[in-house]
Amino acid sequence: MTDKSPNAPAAPIALYTPEIRGNEWKYVKECLDTAWVSSVGAFVDRFEHMLAERMGVHHAVAVTSGTAALHTALNLMGVTQDDEVLVSTLTFIASANAVRYCGAWPVFIDAEPNHWQMDPQRVEEFLTRRCERRGDGVYNRRTGRRVRALLPVHMLGHPVDMDPILEIAKRFELRVIEDAAEGLGVQYKGRSVGGLGDVGCISFNGNKLITTGGGGAVLTNDPELARRARYLTTQAKDDPLEFVHGEVGYNYRLTNLQAAMGCGQLECVDEFIAAKRDIAEVYRERLRDVPGVTFFTPSPQAQCTYWMNTLRIQPAEYGKTSRQLMKELQARGVQTRPLWQPMHLSPAHRGCESVLTGVADQLYSQCLTVPSSVGLRREEAEFVCEAIASLASPSSFCRNYREAG
């Protein structure tokens, strides 16, 4: 890091580092000592049971990543070649990529402005204005493709408003796949996200609330879907001895080694959530009076985890853009990052249809995610807040703005 300010902390403050403070070492050592390291073992079963209980579902199927969980879930829902799936545009690219892995097409739905989640009104608008019912389902009039499913993404530790999404899905006979990759611990009306639709997906990537290094899970209440998820993710093996495979499956199962780490992590999840909420409180309290800095407003129906704390910087009031602030914080030893490029702007998904209001575009240009590790110390969060407050310069922005304009 160059151009370090004299106020920089002794060590840079990372955006996110995993927290390993429980039985992870002990459980992983048990795997190494017994050589149960691969894709079956007692820890896989234990992790799946713990996870299902925590998420309030009957079944959790542990897989290699959140992306693999999404791909499997879409398969389970019968999403196939040239179907369409309505996906939040403001998401990490995995949600949209998984649709393409099935040969289907995402239709991107904008966010609502208060909580920054998929806007149910835009979902309804697409289905009523741009689609028509035919014998066996709902079809996009322009593309002629069948709309098969909705894929809302619970973003940043806040839930999507699921009641209208589920009502619309019922009315139009669509399946609901929840991307709850960031949603462990998040509740909507007292119920865990990931267990509200037909099938849910979660991620244990290194920056998630708990991690297995890399990993994910498919969540469902339906025993037949759970059985099929296990089948598809273990190469669709029909005969344990004779290498008979009934269809093209995937090598997507989580290893015992990773599940061992997951058990250790999951034992600490309540402490982790409490830490996240404390960090969010520091950011929200300390930055409350800084002009031009806001956050999403938590819905009264939500119990948030504040997985990542993301600030919205209004340049006219703050005096700088989010990207200028990002560079200046970097010089002070604080790592931040922008929000994901919305999927309707992604070159990887060029040409896909979308329903837009401009909210995601604005959030993309204005948002900045700040350090949010479970182990972030209060003094570190306060240092970040002081840096953000001291870098505000509303008058200079107005001057530059006038001069430029």
Ligand X SMILES: Cc1ncc(COP(=O)(O)O)c(C=O)c1O
Alpha helices in 141-221 (DSSP H): 162-172
Which one among 86, 107, 150, 181 touches ligand X, defined by CB under 6 A? Answer: 181
Residue 327 CB, shortest distance to ligand X, in Å, is 24
Residue nearest to ligand X (CB): 66
27 vs 204, beta carbon nearer ligand X: 204
Strands (E), 189-300: 191-192, 199-203, 216-220, 237-239, 244-245, 293-294
Q: Which pair of structure tokens corresponds to residue 403?
A: 């001069």
209 vs 334, beta carbon nearer ligand X: 209
Strands 105-109 and 83-88: parallel
Q: How far is CA 244 from the centre of its chain?
A: 36
Q: How far apart are CA 373 and CA 274, in angstroms?
A: 12
Total of chain residues touching ligand X, rule CB under 6 A: 14
Interface with ligand X, residue 116, by CB under 6 A = no
The one segment of 99-107, 132-140, 175-183, 245-253 that binds ligand X by CB under 6 A: 175-183
**Residues near 1 by Cβ (< 8 Å), separated by ≥ 6?**
12, 330, 331, 333
Interface with ligand X, residue 269, by CB under 6 A = no
Q: How far is CA 152 from the centre of its chain?
A: 10
DSSP code of residue 40:
-
Q: Which pair of structure tokens corresponds to residue 44?
A: 């896989």
The one segment of 61-69, 245-253, 285-293, 365-373 that binds ligand X by CB under 6 A: 61-69
Residue 25 CB, shortest distance to ligand X, in Å, is 23
- Which x/- pattern, by CB under 6 A, does the window 139-158 give for ligand X? --------------x-----
Query: Which contiguous run of DSSP H or E holds residue 88?
Result: strand 83-88
Residue 131 CB, shortest distance to ligand X, in Å, is 25
Phi, psi (deg, nearest 5) at residue 217: -155, 150
Interface with ligand X, residue 265, by CB under 6 A = no
Interface with ligand X, residue 92, by CB under 6 A = yes
Q: How far apart are CA 312 and CA 322, in angstroms?
A: 8
The one segment of 19-27, 88-96, 128-136, 312-320 that binds ligand X by CB under 6 A: 88-96
Interface with ligand X, residue 65, by CB under 6 A = yes
Interface with ligand X, residue 367, by CB under 6 A = no
Residue 204 CB, shortest distance to ligand X, in Å, is 7
Interface with ligand X, residue 203, by CB under 6 A = yes
193 vs 388, beta carbon nearer ligand X: 193
For residues 169-200, b (16+ Cβ closer than 10 Å) or e, as one string?
beebebbbbbbbbbbbbbbbeeebbbbbbbbb
Q: Which pair of structure tokens corresponds to residue 338?
A: 């922008």
Interface with ligand X, residue 305, by CB under 6 A = no
The one segment of 92-100, 278-286, 297-305, 392-400 that binds ligand X by CB under 6 A: 92-100
Instruction: Say whether 127 sits in a helix, a strand or coil.
Output: helix
Interface with ligand X, residue 216, by CB under 6 A = yes
Residues engaged in binding ligand X (CB under 6 A): 65-67, 91-92, 94-95, 153, 179, 181-182, 203, 205, 216
